[in-house]
Structure formats: structure tokens, C-alpha cells
Amino acid sequence: METAAIVAWTLQKEIPVPEDVKQLLVEGETAVTSFKTFRDSATFTTKRLIVRDAQGVTGKKVEIYSLPYTSIEMWSSENAGGMLDRDAEIELWTKAGHIKVKLTKGADIRRIDSLIAWAVLKSH
């Protein structure tokens, strides 16, 4: 069943894991890597994808999305063939709906595809 994208994120480049994201981790969970997003960050952990999204003009209000890998049912990656393609995109079909992850020039689609494969396949 095709559902409309409920969320769209844009990953820009790999960054160090933000300190405040480390505070969100549960026992036995480790941060693997983070990416800069338009307003904040997305962090791949050993259990889930955590996306922080600063809201409003000041960015003081922060919305945090937590996507457990066990909820990802299928994914696809699309690019024009270059490793650092401007129009690369990952789509996730989850129990919660359809999520689009756009990648800018600084994000390596194969690295992100590999992270998702590692995370989803080890959690099922």
C-alpha cells in the first residue's frame, strides 16, 4: 500500500555525535554516527535512528523523532550513479508510514544505505 510521506529529512554531511543526543541513549545502546540536517542532526545508534529537529525562529523548541530499526519494513536508495550525487534519496517504509530521507552533496548514499542495511538486518 502506498502512503504519503509523513516525514522528510535531509542529511547533509557526517558530523561528530552531539553531546545532547548521547543523553537520549538507553542502556546497551551506542551512537554509531551522526549527520547534519537542515536544522539539527540525525544519529544512527545500535538500536534506532534519532532525528533532532530545532523548531521556530530561535530553535529553542526541539522535536525529537526516534525510529526503531525494527519498525523499518523495507527501504530503497536512489541516485544518478555518483557517490556524492546531489539528488540522492533514501525511502523508508515503516510501521508508522513512509519516510523520505534526502541527501545533499556531502552525504555518501552508499554509507547511509549500508548503515540502514546493517541496522535493519541485525535487528530482525
Structure-model confidence comparison of residues 12 and 2, the more confident one = 12
Read off the pTM: 0.84
pLDDT tens per residue across span 83-104: 544 678 999 999 988 999 988 8
Contact 54, 27 (CB under 8 A): no
**Domains, the chain:** 5-123 (2.30.29.30)
Contact 5, 89 (CB under 8 A): no
For 69-83, what is the mean pLDDT? 84
Least confident piece of the model among 16-20, 57-61, 94-98, 117-121:
57-61
Q: Is the pLDDT of residue 82 over 60?
A: no
Give the up-direction half-sphere exposure of residue 88: CA atoms within 13 A in the CB hemisphere. Answer: 21
